[in-house]
Structure 1
Amino acid sequence: MAVTAPCQGEGCRRRTAEGRSRRRTAATGRLCRPCREHLDAGLAELAHLYEECGRMLAGAAPGSLRERTTGGDLPGLPFNGAAADVRARMVSVLGSWSGLVAQERGFASPPRHVAALTAFLRRNGDWLAAHPAAAEATEEVARLVRAGRRAAFPEPARSIRLGACPEAGCSGSLTVAVRHSGDDSGQPVVCDAAPAHRWTSDQWSELSRTMDAGRAPGTAAPAPTERWLTAADIARLWHTPTGTVYRLASEQRWRRRNHAGRTYYNETDVRTCFDRRAAART
């Protein structure tokens, strides 16, 4: 019988800090499946964040989805030191881990470009997940992702309107504050008319179903409301790396629409996808 042990990944380390037990590792590694998937998604997201930080150097407005443009930097714009620092750290940290993999596996080192480095590490992800330094790899990648989000999306918190409050007799609307601070902790979903009506973002799937049904017990049923969310909104409501959101949106063919240069995904498609993923893990 395969022997497993407590996971050493960054996600399970945070579970311990919250008073929860660590998950068990996969049979051949030092990481549980969620932490292994989180490492892969973090590496995928870093390639995207590196490009986003590059646009910040060029004076682009914050935002996760923008069209590429040709031409040089706009004149007279201040140098974005935070974005430059994060990009340099990405190259340094990812280069170090790639060097370790290449040396111990006898491979040629990849070019010191973030896209090449992340692709190389993802190809060797299973090997890295079984390495004695797997815990440090997950922590450093997670720190880079948080730093990259802070530098690439520095705008202050904004509120997303999610729909009418489902509590009986309440005429308020539910909102959630989205912060691009790199903090993965969930923000509460709060009613703007009655702050006592609040839910954690972990409860969003079940709450959303209640809203789609049109009522809480004992209330009249208004017509269901279609909700549309950005990739950043989805990442924070479901505590999922943005890289995973982009991958799932493509694989699962979520309905989408564009408005003012941003892409929004149909919340029902998103919720159905994450409900299936959660059921598969139980």
Structure 2
Amino acid sequence: MTSSNSHQGMPFNTAAAEVRSSIMTVLASWAGLIAEERGVEAPQRHIVGLARFLHENVPWLSGHSAAHDLIDELTTLMRLARRASDSRSVRVIPVGSCVRAGCTGRLRAVVKVVPGAQPKPSEIRCSADRAHWWAAGEWAALSARMQTLRDHRRTWYSVADIEVLWKIPSGSIYRLASQYQWRRRKVSGRVFYHAEDLHSALGS
């Protein structure tokens, strides 16, 4: 897969692009929380400005009830960013949603590349659970299963989803999650909350 600009033949690092998008979403959500609760203006949606804004508010964030969520999210994003930055070691291709029951992860085809050696056989991995993976010889069966599965009901919502669907600022989302003890899980550095808890607290 190559980029469509003038740098023809340059490989597009899909994993890095996905991590960058996750970083932007997480930083913007926390900047929104700070802006709402402190009554200040949030910076423009730009990674450098958002990161600087959060850094300036670290003393206030350290005393917030949801501070542990921020630490968890940033730690995960740092790990994913380091992994994605080494474009020589892996090639990653998005495949789709995980087919395992109750899993909200995303499937990616991974090809390991070692300089001076033949690429190792590809495999498909889940972003949420390391136990969910398929060898190259299982791809046909996996593809057939993905075709037959239909997602009739969403189980988990991200902060960005909740902002759009319920028209709630990100700052209020973290506060409500802490107040009502919504079930949560992390996927690719982002926090997701259980739909059942959301509907119970916020209605449909």
TM-score range, shorter chain: 0.3 to 0.5
| TM superposition score normalised by structure 1 | 0.29
Greater relative CO, 1 or 2 (CA 8 Å, sep 6+): 2
Q: Which has the higher strand share?
A: 2
Q: Tell me the TM-score normalized by structure 2.
A: 0.40
Max Rg structure: 1
